[in-house]
Structure 1
Amino acid sequence: MTFDPLAPPEPLSDSARPARTGLARLLDGLTGLLGRKPELDIDSLTKRILLPALPVTDEEMARATHQDKGQKFARQEQWEDLAEIIEYADSARLRTPGGEAATGLLAYGARADVVSAAEDALHDGAEPDGDGIDALEEIRADLPDSYPMALVLALAHVDIGLAWRATATDLTATRHEARFLEHFKRAEDLLAPFDGPDLDAPSLAAAQCALLAARPTPRLRVADDYATLIDLDPDTPRHMRALGEALLPTRYGDYESLDLEARRTASRTQDVWGTGGYTWVYLDALARDPGALARLEAEFFIDGLRDIVARRHNQHVINQLAAFCGLIMAPKIGTSRLPAAQEATRARIHGCLDWLLENHLQELHPLIWSQTLLSPGLTPALPSRRALVARGRQAALRVIAERFAEEIADGTSIAFSSAGMYRLPAL
């Protein structure tokens, strides 16, 4: 679960794509997480979990609407209209039901065609055609005082720069790294005249966080850059989640810095999230690196979970948190186990699945569960959207069935509705 400050996950489609590798990884993850009870027994019990599922959610539709709008304006060359709506989305802190900033989605759609063409070329081992980025440069030159246009172009350079780095091999590493730095330098120059706090524009502050990938000493800036962003837009969880991932030892920080900034973030966002800022900062960090449990304070984290639910009680967030507790925090066996104290912390967080299911879950959002199962950073050969929905539903029902196996072993069923979870007698 890696979250770039501005680039939302690419929309999934049902188009024919290679699915075997991604689906196999997903199934392996499901088997590893839920293989502690006999498979046939759990599969049988899942038939007694009556939980309505939404293959397409309000959150997905809202994200697609913003992305499509950005793409439509770009394709029809309505750049001034695009700039106006990005400025409005920034100033109004417009977001999706799940808390995703609309500015990032609009900017993503506006640059999607240019970036996708460059990424496809690089993955094919070819030099990207420069016509697309050059056209954006010309449009930006016609609107030099428009920060939304600078933002769209800068983020296109960021995405293409990251694609150069991601496609490097041992033989091409030097050249690809040079091109990565060239694109990031251009992005930095484009954004230099515009200041996020002065313009009250969280999108600009988020773009500065994206530029950390090419800073010579990002460790010295990551906390301050993200603090600026979070202070501008504390209602958007993505920023806090990105901060936590950025502070992992494999990125720009260490476990001590992660815990310190999680506490600072909780303090600064207390009016919005209570103690939830601590939990948001740790969420993606734990998904990427369970070793982050070493410094995590379980009681603080669990209090944060409760505060998030109390303040953002929609089913998108409930599914996110339930999938995290049920899958990411599931007890490990064998070589995957951590030291006893960390496993105890993991077990306490996993136990939060009970009250999330019993008191808050009303409908299943399968894609959230399937995306939680996928290993962080897995992008090639993703399964089709239909396969992800099916596997997400299977994962969720198995987690719930395993959690309540003793209660429904007598033939009773568990049902979910807007009134909460309840039991149905055996027929």
Structure 2
Amino acid sequence: MKQNQFSFEIDTKIPDALGRAGIIHTPHGDIKTPTFTVVGTYGDVRFLSTDKFHEIGIQAMISNGFHLSKISDKVETSGGLYTYSGYNCPTITDSGGFQIMSFGSGLGKVVSMNKRDIAREQFKTENKKRLARVTDEGVYFKMNENDTEKLITPEYSIQFQHKIGADIMMAFDELTSIGDNKEYNEKALERTHKWAIRCLDEHQKLTNENPDKPYQALYGVLQGAHYQDLREETSHILGAMDFDGYGLGGAFEKEQLPNILFWCNSILPESKPRHLLGLSKPDDIFAGVENGCDTFDCVAPTREARHGKIYTLDGDINIRNARFRDDHSPLFDECECPTCKSGYSRSDIRKLLKNENELKSPEQILKDKQLALELITAHNVYFIVKLTEKIREAIINGNFFNFRDKWLKRYY
């Protein structure tokens, strides 16, 4: 590894817990942790301009490696994801495993579910024809039943992620669904460990072949569902490998999250950063931080914005509801985001989003809706980013647990 291009330092630890405040140093900037990394699927965040991106205080973006692989040559020619995105911040890509396996089994990197959803997904898994066919070589998959099979190998995943040029990449792993039993998870985990070695070998090869490129960190990805022995086994095995950090994924019941993270992070090397894949609900972030996670990502803040959901310290609201028709207060009185400081009220944004004025032209309706989605997206992302900033402050100031309890009591 080149010196001073990727490293992690711990500033302050939470007493009697695994959590910490730290700094991830990357070739394209530092990431102060804990923090939320916004999802920019194709290298940009929908309805979030470059100016708003930086005004909100976003430190890093995670993008979809599978989708970007189709234009990896273009991204590489532009100077890598850092410049291609236009956000000029540290970047992360996933391995493509989430999309490939979701075609076949329906679930992705981290799925935190209630018991009713679990039962439904178990039924679906047992009764659907999988479109992903896993072999030791890699994953053969189809977009649909009439499509031809495509093969993704660990080597190919690392190759296209190297081309994309993100500061942090994820190793190729076999995902399991909430409906897969322990025997299947055991086989998948064994295969994932073999693929991890192949990912590391390909990563080292490409790094040596491109000595002038900024170093790209490679994270190993931990699976194992809700099984303690499998989680501990993979933590020992992957923890002993030469990864730069770790991504924690899997499908499990929501209440199991703190236990799973504790099992893994109490074994993984303390000196390396850990990323919790696919979760951003406040209680999940607090549980993640307490149990040793440093960075988080999820599509929820932007996706829910597109459905009119607004985050506030007193719980979420839906701006589409009729009770906000004549509400001239900001989205949230105590918020300092660009939207709440802009002068737009709840009523204003609802009108833009609902477009109940029949005299508007289709062009104006589309323009108004886009403006509303830009305003809500900026607010929601700011809310989660600011939460992680305050958690970091609380860790450094030694009052994490007091801050957690007060914050969650008010929100929920």
TM-score by length of 2: 0.33
Question: Higher strand share goes to which structure?
Answer: 2
TM-score by length of 1: 0.32
Q: Which has the higher contact order (CA 8 A, sep 6+)?
A: 1
